[in-house]
A and B are shown apart, each in its own frame.
Chain A
């Protein structure tokens, strides 16, 4: 009796399996993935870092040296230059010796902002091969 009623009910619906539990499960999965999704992407500048065993001078003899003092002064080619002049200086020096990389030597107390500005200017000057090192 009961069986027949259930069957007639199923006939009236004309549906297959019940999708509601599956939907519950899928919605739960969906909520999990939504709350764990992180869409943070950081743009960044890539620099090389010499290992402490290898001297930076050894790897590239002709590299252009840029020194940054902890007060933010930038020295290129034995002259103190403004951060906006770094690009021009790098372009000039790389025209003299193409394929040379840039070695940035910063004092340890230098603000990172200055270092990143210099790296940016060197990139704008057309050199991607930048090595970053620090001194006391």
Chain B
């Protein structure tokens, strides 16, 4: 039964898969090398705008601060005191990553300062405040 089903399949060959495989492997390589495992904040905030903002390639860890002071990281809302342990863990995993703090333009500067302090205490000294280019 099995052999009868097996033999016709091997005999009638379909299209040649090799070029498709070549193409697919190329796509695969592209996606592998462009993957950077960014930790998204997971919440949309109304960012302030600035002319002089620039992209830092290592800015992969994002912390969002909403206008009511909620802090979001890695698609979850976290407390201020949890920022430091989370950041320490991520910093050990990928020491070259830097932090981007996405603060709402109506959020308090005090919360921003506290989050920056926590990130700094976790050992990440390079951080930037996200801004939309005008």
Contacts and interface: CB of A to CB of B under 8 A. Distances in A.
B104 A45 contact: no
Contact of B7 (A6, A34, A132): A6
A41 B128 CA distance: 12
Contacts of A23: 17, 20-21, 24
Interface string A66-101: 001000000000000000000000000000000000
* Range class of the A interface residue count: 35 or more
A33 B32 contact: yes
Contacts, number: 163
A44 B128 contact: yes
A119 B51 CA distance: 10
A39 B103 CA distance: 20
A42 B50 contact: no
Interface in B50-102: 50-56, 59, 62, 65, 100-102
Contacts of B54: 43-44
B50 A120 contact: yes
B53 A112 contact: no
Interface string A28-41: 01100110111111
B50 A119 contact: yes
A99 B53 CA distance: 21
Interface of B: 3, 7, 10-11, 13, 16-18, 20-21, 24-25, 27-28, 31-32, 34-38, 40, 48-56, 59, 62, 65, 100-110, 112-113, 116-117, 120, 126-133
